[in-house]
Amino acid sequence: MMSPAETTETSTLHPLTPLSAGEISSAVGIFRASRYATPTMRFVMVTLHEPIRSDVLNWPSTPVAREAFLMLLDNATGQTYEAIVDLSAGRISSWEHKPGVQPPVMLDEFFECEQTLREDPLFQEALRKRGIHDFSLLMIDPWSAGVYHSDDPAHAGRRLVRALTWVRGGEGENGYAHPVQGLMALFDLNEMKLIHLEDTGITPLPPEPGNYAPRFLDRFRPGTMPLEISQPEGPGFTVTDNLVEWQGWSFRVGFTPREGLVLHQITYDDGRKRPIIYRASLVDMIVPYGDPSQDHARKNAFDCGEYGIGMLANSLELGCDCLGVIRYFDAHLVNSRGEPVTIRNAVCLHEEDYGFLWKHVDWRTNETELRRSRRLVISFVSTVGNYEYGFFWYFYLDGTIQHEIKLTGIMNTGALPVGETRKYGTLVAPGLYAPIHQHIFSVRLHMQLDGEGNSVQEINTHAEPPGEANPYGNAYYAEATTLKTECARDLDLPSARYWKVINPNVTNALGTPTGYKIMLAENALPFVHPQSSVRRRAGYMDHHLWVTPYDPAEKYAVGDYPNQRSPDVADGLPAWIQQQRSIENTDIVCWVTLNSHHIPRPEDWPVMPCGYIGFHLKPVGFFHRNPAIHLPPAPSRHSVEVGRNGSSCGCHAN
Ligand code: CU
């Protein structure tokens, strides 16, 4: 990504610059020439081996080796390996066998599994029984298999997916309108063959198409007039290597196969360069479905840890995904055969108008002051089977940072006899329902607020009991409690709870520690049973905020290898916090859980208008007054008059 020079020359590249396609090729070449390579190895991922923070901060006075991290799967033995390749030295600096784990499902495996099943006689027979004869119309989605009490012990140790099938009504039609109910293919990806076909009975295919592409529509709604974004003098941001700078903000753009977009070293310059977050990314997500039927009960895809949300990123298009003056970044990844794959325009950077930021009318003098809000947007979008997820970071002029996830695409579906409904889902067409589910995300924030030594305070608001201190019954107050040891906390509406990261060693002009609060809006708690396999494997879903001391080994909320990991293996946040390490005035990581509770609506079919979930990081005492006071007033421009009395004024309207 960022297309640095196609060379392994390292002296000028910032240590957090993602690997170029050339560097990926070099890493693969160095590995292939080593004694560790076998002909049956697949490249699960090749990505930058990020140096530790102290090395990054000491660069460039102390040089940093440019290294690639490789994850490998040997199909012949089913064994997983990790390698670190020193690109400057042209050698392998670390080699590790990871026994008993399954790496993520690779995109190549997806396609090979689908093609193999399409041609499998047993699978074909099950489809013929259901009246399906044109196998070119099949859509076979290999879902990660998980680990369940009903699993056949004879399959232990195999590399498994459980494939679910849909069928298009015709070429290019939306296949998710026609789920092949009751058919689950347990498939071994190492041997690339079907090992068990579960057939729980036939339900007729739902009869109605669910198409949304223009060629299937008979009309378009009128009145969507051209709306153009014009930035005649260009955008207000600059991009140098992978460094973005805008209105005091700066950060470095990273991209990994597992997390997609990574923001490094988020900093605000108010005369001094003030670090806020060292590293921010989506680290995990899972969608537990609430339907106990065999088709849905074992859906448990970890889209980061079991597939790689970065691997599934879209190539974005100007005018469709993004409006305005756009700077795109390419993502350089690798396919399972070790060939570099570039996703063009994977990350989009632009500015957006955002209504007004602040306003006051001195109503005695009629003097009006208003400043418009704008935000810098950096985003990427991934397609995960039927769903699309857009991941957006926004930076505002008042020091606010926002992370927002847009949920769209097509809902996962099941078939019912026409005329029936189902308790565990919503009917969206005759014989077609969408099961209830939750999208549960984990966003990791490695903090660096005003430098080293951060703490987290929990702020609860209390009503003062009536009495001498509260004679009118109106009194209430906010109380801050510093979290001492690593822990998990939940939202609490009765106390309007939020959390604030502070630097107890740095005070603002008012004498209080500088801080940023973490504000979660719409959220939920999980409904899958605490002892269910999926919940035990994804324990981060139990709580809304986790705080741990930084440990370079703790990168993902569910641990490094969630694919097919037994719920009995303790890994990830719930296991880590058992250590009860101190989180006071130290190097800390905040893990934010976002739970989008999705009870499907008929309006979400056949393609879903965006749902949104996210959080804000808002400065609290980071500045000592409104940092947007010095914004220049926007020039008042009289645009096309559309008001009844022709009094439209660009300055006063939102
Ligand atoms: Cu949903």
Instruction: Tell me 214's DSSP state.
Output: G
Please tell me the distance between residue 532's alpha carbon and the centre of ligand 1 in angstroms: 20
Please tell me the distance between residue 494's alpha carbon and the centre of ligand 1 in angstroms: 28
pLDDT score for 634: 77
**Mean pLDDT value across residues 271-277:** 97
**Interval 358-416: pLDDT, tens:** 999 999 999 999 999 999 999 999 999 999 999 999 999 999 999 999 999 999 999 99
Q: Which of 303, 450, 571, 604 is catalytic?
A: 303
Residue bearing tokens 């939306």 = 174
Instruction: Tell me 464's DSSP state.
Output: P
Residue 636 has pLDDT above 70, yes or no: no
CB 523 within 8 A of CB 504: no
Instruction: Tell me 480's DSSP state.
Output: E
Please tell me the distance between residue 115's alpha carbon and the centre of ligand 1 in angstroms: 28
Q: Which of 81, 278, 307, 387 is catalytic?
A: 387
Contacts with 465 (C-beta within 8 Å, 6 or more apart), sequence order: none
Please tell me the distance between residue 433's alpha carbon and the centre of ligand 1 in angstroms: 13
Please tell me the distance between residue 449's alpha carbon and the centre of ligand 1 in angstroms: 34
**Interval 287-339: pLDDT, tens:** 999 999 999 999 989 999 999 999 999 999 887 788 889 999 999 999 999 99
- Nearest of 453, 494, 478 to residue 582 by alpha carbon: 453
Is residue 303 flagged as an active site residue? yes
pTM as predicted: 0.95
Contacts with 270 (C-beta within 8 Å, 6 or more apart), sequence order: 248, 623, 627
**Interval 521-556: pLDDT, tens:** 899 999 999 999 999 999 999 999 999 999 999 999
- Nearest of 265, 305, 255, 314 to residue 283 by alpha carbon: 305
Give me 519's structure tokens.
Answer: 């504000």
Please tell me the distance between residue 411's alpha carbon and the centre of ligand 1 in angstroms: 6
Cis before 606 (ω within 30): yes
Please tell me the distance between residue 610's alpha carbon and the centre of ligand 1 in angstroms: 10
